[in-house]
Amino acid sequence: MLQKPRNRHLSAAQRGMLMGMAKSGDSHHKIEAITDIPRSTVQRTLSKYTINNNMKSHRYGRPCTTTTSNDRAIVLYTKCYDRAPLTDISNVFSISAHTIKRHLHKQDIFKEFQRKK
């Protein structure tokens, strides 16, 4: 018998065990009795697997507003136009100036941005 998780998320091992038991033909009631995991959690986990066909956990945090290709384009643009103000760069990519500044710092580009006068 498994220990109950302290947090409300199942570990990868627990999700894998649920999938193995389901593939071997065990019912949701039997899986609940053996693992001591609530039947609703078992049903939700197994339905997520059948829909998505993977057992990855929930994604944490807010998704990025830019893709990796956008990040590369921002870096390339700032290297080509190194005297461009941050507001002009943000207008070109339709992204906020703070986001662009954060992505440039993540790429170790610490430049002094000119302010529009």
Per-residue pLDDT at 44 exceeds 80: yes
Confidence label for 91 from pLDDT (cuts 50, 70 and 90): very high
Per-residue pLDDT at 110 exceeds 80: no
Residue type present at position 55: M
Q: Quick one: average pLDDT of 66-85?
A: 88
CB 64 within 8 A of CB 103: no
Q: Structure tokens of 9?
A: 């998320």
* Crossing angle between the packed helical segments 97-106 and 86-93, to the nearest 10 degrees: 100
17-53 residues labelled b (16+ CB within 10 A) or e (exposed): bbeebbeeebebeebbeebebeeebbeebbeebeeee
pTM: 0.47
Q: Structure tokens of 77?
A: 């643009």
Q: Quick one: average pLDDT of 62-70?
A: 86
